[in-house]
Amino acid sequence: MLALTAELIDRPSPSFEEAPFTDWIEAELRAVAGLDVTRVGDNVVARTDLGRAHRVVLAGHTDTVPANGNERARVESDVLWGLGASDMKSGLAVMLDLARTMSEPTVDVTWVFYAREEVAAVHSGLGELIEVRPDLVEGDLAILGEPTGAVVEAGCQGTMRLRVDLVGARAHTARPWMGRNAIHRLAPLLDAVASVPERRPVLAGCEYREALQAVAVEGGVAANVVPDAVSVTLNHRFAPDRSEAEAEAHVRAVLAPHLDEGDAIEVVDVAPAAPPAVDHPLLAGLVARRGLEVRSKLGWTDVARFAALGVPAANLGPGDPTLAHTADERVDRAALDRCHAVLVDLLTT
């Protein structure tokens, strides 16, 4: 598995430039007997049709973030270094090996290799598949090969970006009492944001941790002008027990005491949370048999897209999530082998 992961790393696939890598993946899948292979754009789906009672979807994104001096694979003992080693060429290697070798699974299997996950959601290859051919990604359970250290990370938190605009009145800085400083108005609002009690709901045994953070501020006219406008961008991560509307209402309630006439709040973008699927019989059985650790996914992943389709989904991949997108991205042989064995169990028991 380490050698196959190294081979995938040495086939570059930065976002929007996945086509050559996808060509190679498609050719490898078409060489496997018994797989029905479909390509949509730079996304490839391979499916068995064995008439099994259940279908499991194994999905992973083919793109990486830009290189950071780590574009080539490097193996030292049982550790592989390189771009995508964690996120997520290692997960793709496990998927590809299973597609090549899994001749008699006890479930039907769908392998989904999709483009453009590391960029804005509007460009998502999985989103493209769901829009054009949702039938290709349907199943009873989906496993995303996102880096989890070969443990189950259940569901995912939703994410919301909001822009808050506060108004003031311009004046000369020598006579500030003649105006109203919009930037100064941020102080109590930011204090309120920073003071929001951390909400940590436990769902299906998984503890989620909500967060509200100010991530950008824009304002100012000139060094001698009291500013009449300022905007702050907030990022809110919300647990799966809240809808997008409930999450927005929560943020608005935090901000309301600090808003005046003329101020505005705009939801710039939002992606829903996904509930943990740990009670699904296929996943629950796997966790019990293998003694797997189960924890919450605090970030957002494409399990939410599957959940929106009515497909329970979880994250499970060999990579270390804390190393994703870093120059020190790496994966070790033990994690690869452990993840591979877990997925073999899922597909054959």
Strands (E), 71-157: 74-76, 79-81, 108-114, 141-144, 152-154
From the list 63, 87, 118, 248, the catalytic residue is 63
- What is the structure's pLDDT at 103? 86
Catalytic residue among 18, 87, 117, 248: 117
Q: Encode pLDDT of 241-277 as tens digits.
A: 999 999 999 999 999 999 999 999 999 999 999 999 9
Q: 63 an active-site residue?
A: yes
Domain boundary assignment for the chain: 2-155+274-348, 158-271
Of 148, 86, 137, residue with least CA distance to 114: 137
Angle between helices 186-194 and 244-255 (to 10 degrees): 130
Q: pLDDT for 297-341, tens place per residue?
A: 999 999 999 999 999 999 999 999 999 999 999 999 999 999 999
Q: Which of 249, 236, 215, 246 is nearest to 159 (CA)?
A: 236
CA distances from 130 to 119, 134, 323 (A): 17, 4, 29
Q: In what order do the strands lie in the sheet with 79-81?
A: 74-76, 79-81, 330-332
Reading across the β-sheet that carries 55-61, which strands appear in turn?
A: 36-40, 43-47, 108-114, 55-61, 141-144, 313-315, 152-154, 294-296
Please report which confidence band the pLDDT of residue 157 belongs to, taking 50, 70 and 90 as the band edges.
very high
**316: enclosing H helix or E strand:** none
Phi-psi group of 336: left, alpha or beta (phi > 0 → left; psi -120 to 50 → alpha; rest → beta) = alpha
Mean per-residue pLDDT over the chain, rounded: 97
Evaluate the omega torsion of the peptide bond into residue 160 and state whether it is cis, within 30 degrees of 0.
Answer: no
Name the token pair of 185. 């108005």
Q: Under CATH, which number does the domain 2-155+274-348 receive?
A: 3.40.630.10
pTM exceeds 0.85 for this model:
yes
135 is catalytic: no
| Rounded-to-integer distance, Cα 195 and Cα 338, Å | 41
- Across the range 231-240, mean pLDDT stands at 98
pLDDT (tens digit per residue) in 54-104: 999 999 999 999 999 999 999 999 999 999 999 999 999 999 999 999 989
Specify the pLDDT at position 120.
86
pLDDT at 135: 98
Question: Residue 227's pLDDT is what?
Answer: 98
> Class for domain 158-271, per CATH?
alpha beta
